[in-house]
Amino acid sequence: MTVLAAPPPLLSPSLAELLERSSALHDHLCPRQILGVRSALLAARHLNLPFPRSDKRVLVFVETDGCFADGVSVASGCWLGRRTMRLMDYGKVAATFVDTRTGQAVRIAPQTDLRQRVKDARPEGQKRYDAYLEAYQTLPDDALLTVQEVELTLDLKELISVHGKRVMCDGCHEEVINEREVVHGVQVLCPSCAGQGYLRPRP
Ligand SMILES: [Zn+2]
Ligand SMILES: [Zn+2]
């Protein structure tokens, strides 16, 4: 695990502009959204790629849903709907940005003592929430975020799959796309019919 110093900035929309877009989408501005935007901006510099992207070159794994993920999407251009964002639901404010062309990947998370530092440094009378809002916008990257160069332990090709792949589940006869089917002997099943379901019909 390496902690890297921040390389010089690329030309990206300003933080203020991205926060405006993100808070418009989100109906409010909140600290985690700012962390999402700042994380993506820093990732762009480490990967040396302009953000927000309109292609599929970068894939982002967010480790929580919610406000943070919206900030990451707005600033990176990576969205669940574009298949350039994946949710790894670990309940952690962190994201890994992968350059799918080179395989380079960086995981970015708030520094572990960040919250405490901001709390301790706030002027008397300032609400904690307001202190986070302000600090997350103004602290330099190296006082805010941690960057690690990482390697994926999952198969990127499998995850992305091939556009247009489609089979029918032998159990429910619904369509399964993106090669998410499970083959059981001669049967081709969707994950639900293969017993990996997250629901069942009401009795
Ligand atoms: Zn929010
Ligand atoms: Zn099925």
Ligand found nearest the CA of 64? 1
Helices (H), 107-200: 114-121, 128-138, 141-144, 156-160
Ligand found nearest the CA of 180? 2
Ligand found nearest the CA of 65? 1
pLDDT string in tens for the chain (203-residue length): 556 666 555 556 899 999 999 999 888 999 999 999 999 999 999 999 999 999 999 999 999 999 999 999 999 999 999 999 999 999 999 999 999 999 999 999 999 999 999 999 999 999 999 999 999 999 999 999 999 999 999 999 999 988 889 999 999 999 999 999 999 999 999 999 999 989 988 99
pTM: 0.90
- Alpha carbon 143 to its chain centroid, in Å, reads 21
Ligand 1 center to residue 2 CA distance, Å?
31
Residues 6 or more apart whose CB falls under 8 angstroms from that of 4 comprise 46, 106, 147, 148, 149
